[in-house]
């Protein structure tokens, strides 16, 4: 019998959190600097997932116009509370990560929650309620035994200096007033990792089962030492905690195919079977995955009061018998309609104003004042890449009227790492430009030709190790250039390491001057292969 295929939600979908209600599973993931924030997926079988909206879908909820790469929304937690008949999503907003000077300080991440009485209608999510404590990876636990609500999160220990090569990040909890977000009493440290990986402890989730409180944490950092640990207590969500005898629950280490397993959440289905979802990456011959951190699935069994994940084995691309196996191919043609974000299109940061519209099945993008090189709300729409192997085809037309005015398509990771084909205003005529990161150094390289007139069709062939770009015209397929995939995931100090690869459609003015000139995108096609059957 065939097993389900991992990942269950491929592409950039890290930090999964899951809940079960009325025969359906609901799952949310991190979005970082992309808007709208926190996609909500639903499924009845844990394999076939449908995007139904986003918890953070308007500027009053999420204003991150100039957030840095890999800033934004971190690690949501999704819960349904039976007593209140409401859904709750809690997360953190990171606005700034870098320092202007060695003696500079960065603002702490801000934690908050939003609620909804109808998870299927994204307009019903409330505006944020903010907490009194700062940090990342917030989790809400509703103790139905006494009605108390506990917030757990990760932040540093004041005045603690971590050993060299390690980080000061530990797990805390505090009781809160749900109506205001105010703390009730003093925060308490409940988990400090002093021995595994880089000593990070983060991503807490608290559960209650058969009289025990369980604290589950991601340990060792989100790189190769990423793992998941669990502890239990009879006393309550503040501990004291007993270590699980078979910690870590999951840890793949330097595996050949799947690495960085961790940041896990668990749920009990309607049939009593428990499941775990967690992030992992599909490394490519020792190179970091340019698709980013994806959502994986494994079964959970309870043995002597402790969860055993995936039978205690390493996580692989082949899951278990039970859930159906997803199709091997993934193909679609997108004709543009007004509900773009419900179809998986994202903005880069929170837009101040509308820079696009849909007209007669075309996406019209106005040349915005911000360039791809800036930490701003660029005039750009993006769709996640979900398979290593595939072909994109994009039809668009653009006639620049100003020097350096530019519109086109990009394989996008961040402003530091992308590859684009565009039409740009030249000195005397329009130019067709192929731009990619330099193999050596930190800049970009360009190849320039005279731009063809009318509608242009660009094909991008994606492979695990590279992207190849072509101009399609009059039956001809003309190569434009190639980019090695490893250029997207270099680990320079400023690189964006928490996200993944998108296909981006963009239009930009020059020198801070936006224009009313429009780029017209007719269609986007994708034909992808998920993996071997």
Active site residues: 15, 202
Q: CB 165: neighbour CB atoms within 10 A?
A: 8
CA-to-CA dists, residue 175 to 81, 84, 112, 152, 188, angstroms = 16, 18, 14, 9, 10
Cα–Cα distance for residue pair 26/18, rounded to 1 Å = 6
Find, among 517, 474, 532, 23, the residue nearest to 267 by Cα.
Answer: 23
Which structure tokens are listed for 525?
Answer: 């096609």
CA-to-CA dists, residue 179 to 60, 130, 394, angstroms = 18, 10, 48
Q: Residues with Cβ < 8 Å from 360, sequence gap 6 or more?
A: none
Cα–Cα distance for residue pair 54/72, rounded to 1 Å = 15
Largest CA distance in the chain: 76
> What is the SS3 assignment for 80-137?
EECCCCEEEEEEEEECCCCCCCCCCCCCCCEEEEEEECCCCCHHHCCCCEEEEEECEE
38-54: burial string, b at 16+ Cβ within 10 Å, e else: bbbbbbeebbebeebbb
CB 79 within 8 A of CB 142: yes
Q: β-strands 476-484, 430-437: how paired?
A: unpaired
Cα–Cα distance for residue pair 159/139, rounded to 1 Å = 25
Q: Residues with Cβ < 8 Å from 195, sequence gap 6 or more?
A: none
Cα–Cα distance for residue pair 372/411, rounded to 1 Å = 12
> What is the SS3 assignment for 321-368?
CCCCCCCCEEEEEECCCCCCHHHCEEEECCCCCCCEEEECCEEEEECE
CB 363 within 8 A of CB 336: yes
- Cis link prior to 191 (omega < 30° from 0)? no
């Amino acid at each position: 019998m065939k097993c389900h295929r991992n990942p269950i939600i491929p592409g950039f979908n890290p930090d999964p959190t899951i809940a079960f209600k009325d025969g359906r599973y609901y799952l949310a993931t991190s979005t970082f600097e992309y808007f709208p924030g926190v996609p909500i997926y639903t499924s009845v079988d844990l394999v076939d997932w449908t995007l139904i909206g986003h918890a953070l879908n308007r500027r009053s909820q999420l204003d991150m116009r100039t957030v840095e790469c890999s800033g934004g929304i971190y690690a949501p937690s999704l819960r349904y509370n039976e007593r209140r008949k409401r859904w709750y999503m809690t997360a953190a907003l990171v606005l700034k990560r870098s320092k202007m000077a060695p003696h500079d300080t960065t603002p702490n991440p801000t934690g908050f929650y939003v609620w909804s009485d109808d998870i299927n209608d994204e307009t019903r999510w409330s505006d944020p309620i903010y907490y009194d404590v700062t940090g990342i990876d917030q989790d809400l636990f509703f103790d139905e035994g006494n009605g108390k609500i506990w917030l757990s999160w990760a932040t540093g220990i004041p005045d603690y200096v971590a050993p060299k090569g390690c980080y000061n990040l530990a797990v805390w909890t505090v009781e809160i007033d749900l109506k205001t977000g105010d703390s009730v009493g003093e925060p308490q440290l409940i988990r400090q990792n002093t021995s595994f990986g880089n000593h990070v402890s983060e991503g807490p989730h608290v559960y209650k089962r058969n009289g025990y409180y369980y604290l589950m944490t991601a340990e060792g950092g989100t790189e190769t030492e990423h793992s998941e640990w669990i502890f239990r207590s009879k006393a309550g969500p503040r501990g004291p905690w007993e270590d699980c005898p078979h910690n870590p629950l999951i840890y793949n280490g330097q595996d050949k195919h799947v690495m960085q397993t961790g940041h896990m959440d668990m749920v009990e289905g309607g049939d009593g079977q428990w499941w775990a979802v967690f992030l992992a990456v599909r490394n490519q011959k020792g190179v970091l995955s340019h698709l980013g951190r994806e959502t994986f699935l494994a079964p959970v069994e309870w043995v002597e009061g402790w969860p055993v994940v995936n039978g205690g084995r390493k996580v692989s691309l082949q899951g278990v018998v039970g859930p159906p196996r997803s199709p091997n191919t993934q193909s679609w043609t997108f004709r543009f309609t007004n509900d773009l974000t419900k179809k998986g299109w994202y903005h880069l940061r929170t837009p101040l104003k509308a820079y696009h519209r849909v007209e007669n099945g075309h996406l019209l993008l106005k040349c915005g004042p911000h360039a791809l090189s800036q930490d701003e709300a660029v005039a750009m729409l993006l769709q996640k890449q979900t398979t290593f192997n595939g072909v994109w085809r994009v039809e668009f037309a653009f006639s620049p009227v100003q020097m350096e005015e530019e519109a086109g398509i990009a394989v996008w990771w961040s402003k530091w790492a992308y590859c684009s084909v565009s039409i740009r205003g030249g000195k005397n005529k329009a130019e067709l430009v192929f731009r990619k990161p330099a193999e050596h150094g930190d800049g970009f390289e360009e190849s320039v030709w005279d731009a063809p007139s009318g509608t242009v069709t660009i094909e991008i062939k994606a492979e695990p190790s590279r992207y190849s770009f072509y101009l399609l015209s009059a039956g001809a397929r003309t190569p434009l250039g190639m980019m090695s995939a490893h250029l997207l995931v270099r680990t320079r100090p400023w690189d964006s390491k928490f996200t993944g690869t998108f296909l981006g459609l963009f239009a930009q003015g020059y020198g801070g001057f936006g224009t009313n000139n429009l780029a017209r995108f007719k269609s986007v096609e994708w034909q992808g292969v998920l993996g071997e059957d």
